Amino acid sequence: MIRVQREPFDSGAEIARLGAGNPAVGGICAFVGKVRDLSGGQAVSAMTLEHYPGMTEKELARIETEARNRWPLQDTLILHRHGRLEPGDDIVLVAVASAHRRAAFEACEFLIDWLKTKAPFWKREEGPGGARWVEARTEDDEAAARWNAAASQEQE
């Protein structure tokens, strides 16, 4: 399931709902991304997340489909907020239910890695020096690219 919303979410309740009533689920893995008060050595007092309504949902659905093609998953949730957030606020929840833990761990990591490099969100941070757009990180590109290599190895 894909959800993009301005409102806060209750990650505990969302995780509890995932795969509820499905006895084939043997484990759930979840990642919650939060706003930090420090970014690139600079204090952050608030952050605004802009996105591309329409494409965001489509891109997240493509990423979710890719994960379901790669791993045997019972249920998936990608929940991403937009708008103005403050340090300590939740930004994103990725949760995966599977029969076994390895698929759940791997798919969860895959989903957040691809989301960070493909889904059309942009962060603008506010701090004592004013506001600035966050720059994409090479480390994130490398983390996402690992999964390309993994896919080609599986095909060999």
Partner 1 sequence: MRLLFFAWLREKAGQDREDIVLPPDVTDVQGLIDWLRGRSDGYAKALGDPSQLRVAVNQETVALDHPVGPDDEVAFFPPVTGG
Alpha-carbon gap, residue 92 to 146, rounded angstroms: 21
Shortest Å, Cβ 52 to partner 1: 6
Shortest Å, Cβ 119 to partner 1: 5
Nearer to partner 1, 26 or 120 (CB): 120
Nearer to partner 1, 33 or 87 (CB): 33
Shortest Å, Cβ 156 to partner 1: 26
Nearer to partner 1, 135 or 154 (CB): 135
Kindly list the residues in this chain that would bind partner 1 in the complex (CB under 8 A): 33, 49-52, 54-55, 58-59, 80, 91-92, 112, 115-124, 133-136, 140
Alpha-carbon gap, residue 103 to 98, rounded angstroms: 7
